[in-house]
Structure 1
Amino acid sequence: MNIAFSPCPNDTFVFHALVHGLISDTPSFNVTYADIDKTNYWAANRQGPEVMKISYAALPWVLDDYRLIPCGGALGRGCGPLVLTADKSESPSTIAGKTVAVPSDRSTAYILFRLWTAQNIPEDIGDIRIMPFDEIMPAVQNREVDAGLVIHEARFTYPSYGLHMLQDLGEWWEEDTGLPIPLGAIIAKRSNSMNHKKLTEWIRASVEYAWENPAASREYVLEHAQEMSPDVAESHIELYVNEFTRDLGRDGYAAIESLLGRAAEAGLVPSFNLEALKK
């Protein structure tokens, strides 16, 4: 079976057992390591493998062809994207009419950013510039852009660039909704040959194996951690791998429905039947 997920520590930690044959009665897996902006478009263009990690923000474009798997993904609290600036400010209006770098225009981070700006910046921002996430903080630092929307380990490393947090979008979302933040989703093709129930069981078993044997995946995680230090990689895993990774549950589904429902109302994603999230 073909599967694609990012080289980020939370994904390699979660899928280590599955792709290394440590879960019984599973097929062999051919892994493609790809950042979520790539898998989002692969799914939308029906070009990707049978199983993929994508952004929850991309689901409205792909639900006709892919089914949401209720485990293995990333939702959580205290783990949202950040809006960073070179100069310290507490007023959202400081980026009104300015250039903001974002890692994707089809991501949860981008949806949260647009919903936050609509609520807090009446005149809106100026130019949105898409760039690789690892180039955003240097661009803000060098004042090539006025602000940057950052994700992943940038939560832990942005002070080393001398940058300042204008807004923690996860904190804003949680205060506004009381719900966790839906970040990355696991999807599988809607195919008669795909046993979605079995796949769910395999992924859940891989999550549980990772928790029970945290040292087993350490070498694999660090091999793909993009020069991340072991301490940062561990913090990354602790932040993004949680009970929602084991099972979405009621709050997980409520968070997804709230995020995508709001986004559809704002015209940020196509309208779709929310019931399709569970079918």
Structure 2
Amino acid sequence: MKMIIAHTPDPDDAFMFYAMFEHKIETSFEYEQVVKDIETLNKESIDGKYDVTAISANGYMHVSDIYDLTTSGASFGLSYGPLVIAKKNIDLKGKVIATPGRYTSAELLYRMFAPEAGEYKEIRFDRIVNAIMNDEVDAGILIHDEQLTFQEKGLVPVLKLYDEWKKYAGDLPIPLGFNAIRKNMPLENKLKYKKDFENSIKYAQEHQDDAVKYAMKYSRYDDFELEKRFILMYVNSLSVDFGDKGREALTLYYKRAADRNIVKPFTPTIV
């Protein structure tokens, strides 16, 4: 049996799938790989196009009738999260804010915790810094490894969404990216896939440098130490199985959005 897995080109995603796609471990299935940015995958998930797909916590609400979340492969920020940046420290209320996509976790977190924007302008995540530099927007929400390089262009952090999350949720990690598996797949196959992916993540954690080198073929920066630093920010103790702590964090994430009347009350389905 062959499964089609769609993931992002972000180094943390590629790192976790390294052992599966490079045949470093034995697997229960043959896996075919599709690589697209997260907002594209959020939108394509509406059609149930892939057996397994990367998805944002926000995007998942729109496809919970098609997919289950898996406890393996999630990106939770233990002390990091999306950043709102600008040319200078500004009051964000009423401003034009660049967002990496309406279905991204980052945009929903902004809506949960930041002052109401005058306009949300959807811009691909790796073009947000330039949009700010070119005065197309007043500020932007940064995700992925751009979080480690924006200051080189003289931009400054205006709001750290992890800090706002921490005030609300205490020491619980901030939910960001997940993997989802087709709901109509037999449970036995879902569990076999999860085991393969858990083993792949563990292998990468045990062979970090090799896995980082593999992930760099998708990287936007030719800097091994930078990419390794980013990967280890988000591939952490919760990535193999996010367990009760991850479930509790997700519950609070969706509760906050519902309490703010941004979304309807929602409970994810998790395997």
Q: Flag whether TM exceeds 0.5 (same fold).
A: yes
Residue 98 of structure 2 aligns to a residue whose secondary structure is: strand
Residue 96 of structure 1 aligns to a residue whose secondary structure is: coil
Tell me the equivalent position of 1:109.
106
- How far apart, in 2, do the equivalents of 1:261 and 1:23 lie? 39
Q: 1:126 to 1:150 in 2, by over 3 A?
A: same
Residue 191 of structure 1 aligns to a residue whose secondary structure is: coil
Residue 84 of structure 2 aligns to a residue whose secondary structure is: strand
In structure 2, give the amino acid aligned to 1:87.
K
Q: Is the 8 A contact 1:141 1:162 kept in 2?
A: no
Q: 1:223 to 1:25 in 2, by over 3 A?
A: closer
How many residues matched?
267
Tell me the equivalent position of 2:43.
41
- 1:169 pairs with 2:161: yes
1:96 is displaced (CA, Å) by 1.6
- How far apart, in 2, do the equivalents of 1:267 and 1:228 lie? 42
Residue 261 of structure 1 aligns to a residue whose secondary structure is: helix
Percent identity reads 29
Counterparts of residues 225-244 of structure 1 (less than 5 Å) = 225-244=219-238
Residue 70 of structure 2 aligns to a residue whose secondary structure is: strand
Tell me the equivalent position of 2:184.
191
Tell me the equivalent position of 1:264.
258
Q: Is the 8 A contact 1:21 1:28 kept in 2?
A: no
- How far apart, in 2, do the equivalents of 1:169 and 1:248 lie? 21
Unaligned runs of 5+ in 1: none
Counterparts of residues 136-175 of structure 1 (less than 5 Å) = 136-175=128-167
1:172 is displaced (CA, Å) by 1.4
In structure 1, give the amino acid aligned to 2:86.
T
1:76 is displaced (CA, Å) by 2.1
Q: Is the 8 A contact 1:60 1:270 kept in 2?
A: no
In structure 1, give the amino acid aligned to 2:95.
K
Counterparts of residues 1-279 of structure 1 (less than 5 Å) = 1-46=3-48, 48-89=49-90, 94-117=91-114, 121=115, 124-178=116-170, 179-193=172-186, 195-272=189-266, 274=267, 276-278=268-270
Unaligned runs of 5+ in 2: none
TM-score (norm 1): 0.90
- How far apart, in 1, do the equivalents of 2:201 and 2:43 lie? 26
In structure 2, give the amino acid aligned to 1:153.
D
1:215 is displaced (CA, Å) by 2.8
TM-score (norm 2): 0.93
Q: Is the 8 A contact 2:98 2:141 kept in 1?
A: yes
1:271 is displaced (CA, Å) by 3.6
Higher mean alpha-carbon deviation, 262-271 vs 131-140, is at: 262-271
